[in-house]
Amino acid sequence: MNYLERAGYDKAVIEKRIDDTWHAIFDRESSERFYFDAPDRAADKDSANYADFLWTEYDPFEN
């Protein structure tokens, strides 16, 4: 189990976001923005309330 699965993400959602990110990189859709919103963990003092991973406005082909 990886970090995102431990944070409450479904494996299918993780795979879709990875695929979307690769398409954004290689299809030159660099302004796409992707979010992961984990379930609220407020009751669990040892973990974050949520995880928010962004892919935003990055062009890997820009010099």
pLDDT of amino acid 8: 81
pLDDT of amino acid 62: 58
Provide the whole-model pTM: 0.39
Q: Which of 52, 28, 30 shows the shortest CA–CA distance to 39?
A: 52
Separation in Å, CA 58 to CA 30, 53, 63? 5, 14, 11
pLDDT of amino acid 49: 39
Q: Would you state the structure tokens that stand for residue 51, as one six-digit string? A: 């995880």
Residue 12: strand, helix, or coil:
helix
Q: Would you state the structure tokens that stand for residue 47, as one six-digit string? A: 């973990």
Residue-level pLDDT, tens digit, the chain, 63 residues: 577 778 788 888 888 888 887 776 666 655 545 444 444 444 454 444 334 444 444 455 554
